[in-house]
Amino acid sequence: MPSIKAVDLAAHPLTAWQGPLGLPDFTRIGDGDFSPVFDAALEAHEAEIEAIAGNKDTPTIENTLAALELGGEALDRVSSIFWCRVGAYTNDTIQALERDISPKMSRHFSAISMNERLFARIDDLYQRRESLKLDAETLRVLEKTWKGFVRSGAKLDADGKKRLAKISEELSSLGTSFGQNVLADESDWALFLNEADLVGLPDFLKSSMAEAAEMRGQKGRYAVTLSRSIYEPFSTFSERRDLREIAFRAFTMRGQNGGATDNTSVVRDMLKLRAEKAKLLGYGSFAALKLDETMAKTPKAVHALLDPVWEKALEKAAADQTDLQRLATAAGSNEKFAAWDWRFYQEKLRAEKFAFDEAELKPYLQLDRVIDACFDVATRLFGITFEEKKGIAAWHPDARVFVVKNADGSERGLFLADYFARPSKRSGAWMSALQSGYRLGHGSKPVIYNIMNFAKPPAGEPALLSVDEAKTLFHEFGHALHGMLTDVTWPSVAGTSVSRDFVELPSQLYEHWLTVPAVLEKHALHVKTGKPMPKALLDKMLAARTFGAGFATVEFTASALIDMAYHARPDAPEAPLRFEAETLGKLDMPDTIAMRHRTPHFGHVFSGDGYSAGYYSYMWSEVLDADAFAAFEETGDPFNPALAERLRKNIYAAGGSKDPEELYTAFRGKMPSPEAMMAKRGLV
């Protein structure tokens, strides 16, 4: 392995991006390249930090704050490629590197945040901020930077700093273990079936299961996997109750199967360390620490949103279960209604109430046409266009590359998308960036990517999506737009660098345009006939938008309440899974509905720090998105130009350059109440 000195960061393909369109040249990047380049990039960044901290000149915005923001470019570049690979295309080598690099990165950034000379310079600027005559964005960046140092232990004594750094390092390693354990359970499990086991399954699902089986060396058979794109439709359509139960139990027990991949002790240790971290920093709980920089501010405010929704959702779910039990009895079932029955009979209830089922919609939701719909809406709202560039190598052959252009034809940035599930990819869907867009220094154009886990069809067949999958695509593309439309000076407030309970607004709001009739009429074309979705079917689909709200709201809100219950305590529960069960019992959680994310595989909360004490934020943002789309509905035009421009300027382009309440009020004129969200969900 080459020494650090042998790595030329100015020329290495991981840090000097010289591929087509200014992308990394992925054809020249091997798994063995990451470790030496990381070491060299960390050393280079340490030298940059030392130069800033050791500067004898009076601190200025340019020589301290801007230098800090622009430092570490090589580290940013190798990191962005590596973490993309970790999530989207991992292997044993990458996972071993992840276990090594995660604590190394934690130590590096802890050292920066606890560097006394560096903080002294930031603190000097912060204390003089009123006299520096800063523009609003720069002032906000300075204040956020100062608070970030303080929340990372800059004001602790030497022992406190040492302990906090150790806690952060341990949490980083545990988060890595958590995510790798879940991926192992997901990729190792498959239920292989034969033709006789497929009763009730539509053709699109059979094709996806055949492809999944072939990928796992079982050509000619069919595989149920733990990818939602297969698990959920299988649970919805399979007439085989015994197989639905097997799949349900495997899905809900990810991360809790004993042995090397069991996350029980990982969660226990993470919760203990988080509680200790909060106490060390002077907070009453980890939730209080995490919520300090959000719109919600306190656990009490979170519960003020979640608790009334929970009560309404329980009522709705109970009423729905009565209907589902009726259908099960009518079908001759003598078994006690169970969680693996819900999706199956809910689909039959949908057919009874609205005279259609999900299988009727799928032929109209081709992946490529839904992608076109995403792009079309962005063009109509914001004037940007997308041009696919074929034959450009990315991290995996499935990843696609698009050039994003402004209305005047100038290049805005790049968008990459990787849509299909595979064993080397963690489950779920997400947006991230290889490079953020900002104006500071020489500036930078955004290079944004989306990752999905849709079932891959056999070669030559089009991929078909469910309505929920189409919404997921719109959702993640909404995040991507937040990154691509960013129009700020400072990197640390670019794109999605906003408070956790504001970041879901651009994504959840964008979902609304999927079901705008004009969008569906243009893009929901039958896979075989090319004809638009019949108006009767479209009307039924739109009428059924709130169908199943009880189930969907209970499974989501249960996860959000458990997250808050873990983290709003001053201490950690000794037995987290027992605590989960006891808390759900106190909440009167129906045993016929599972949490959307049970603790042992709750990646949002435990695979890193992202949504810990923050899973509620999807619903917090939903209050905003329901009200925001209502603004368009009130004009009678879902593409109202004046409103779209306000939306672009204040929500999608502004990043974290202003307080989120200020940004939302600039768009809408006022802050919303939860009623519109409750109505949108069909709970009132």
What is the distance between the alpha carbons of residues 405 and 411, in angstroms, rounded to a whole number?
A: 4
Query: Which tokens hold the place of 655?
Result: 């990043």
What is the distance between the alpha carbons of residues 124 and 154, in angstroms, rounded to a whole number?
A: 14
Give, rounded to a whole angstrom, the gap between the first and last alpha carbons of the chain. 63
182 C-beta neighbours (distance < 10 Å), count: 24
If you write DSSP's letter for every residue of 239-268 in order, what string do you get?
Answer: --HHHHHHHHHHHHTTT-SSGGG--HHHHH
Alpha carbon 538 to chain centroid, angstroms: 29
Q: For residue 476, indicate whether it is catalytic.
A: yes
What is the distance between the alpha carbons of residues 520 and 76, in angstroms, rounded to a whole number?
A: 40
Decide if 569 contacts 583 (C-beta within 8 A).
no
- Please, where are the H alpha helices in 189-237? 203-215, 228-237
Decide if 63 contacts 52 (C-beta within 8 A).
yes
Query: Which tokens hold the place of 222?
Result: 């069919």
**Those residues with Cβ within 8 angstroms of residue 541's Cβ, 6 or more apart along the chain or in another chain:** 354, 356, 361, 467, 515, 533
What is the distance between the alpha carbons of residues 458 and 212, in angstroms, rounded to a whole number?
A: 9
Catalytic residue (one of 69, 347, 358, 476): 476
What is the distance between the alpha carbons of residues 228 and 34, in angstroms, rounded to a whole number?
A: 31
What is the distance between the alpha carbons of residues 78 and 190, in angstroms, rounded to a whole number?
A: 34
What is the largest distance, in Å, between two alpha-carbon atoms of the chain? Answer: 83
If you write DSSP's letter for every residue of 489-523 in order, what string do you get?
Answer: S-GGGSTT-S-HHHHTHHHHHHHGGGG-HHHHHHH
Backbone angles phi, psi at 394, to 5 degrees: -125, -155
The secondary element (H helix, E strand) that includes residue 593 is: none
Alpha carbon 257 to chain centroid, angstroms: 25
The strand pairing partners of 438, in sequence order, are: 444
Query: Which tokens hold the place of 394?
Result: 């990315």
The secondary element (H helix, E strand) that includes residue 223 is: strand 222-224
What is the distance between the alpha carbons of residues 624 and 322, in angstroms, rounded to a whole number?
A: 32
What is the distance between the alpha carbons of residues 225 and 202, in angstroms, rounded to a whole number?
A: 16
Query: Which tokens hold the place of 458?
Result: 């056999």
Query: What single DSSP character describes residue 463?
Result: P
What is the distance between the alpha carbons of residues 415 and 241, in angstroms, rounded to a whole number?
A: 42
Strands of 306-459 (E only): list them.
385-388, 400-405, 411-420, 430-435, 447-454
132 C-beta neighbours (distance < 10 Å), count: 13
What is the distance between the alpha carbons of residues 11 and 32, in angstroms, rounded to a whole number?
A: 17
What is the distance between the alpha carbons of residues 86 and 668, in angstroms, rounded to a whole number?
A: 39
Angle, CA of 511, 504 and 441, to the nearest 5° = 115
Active site residues: 476
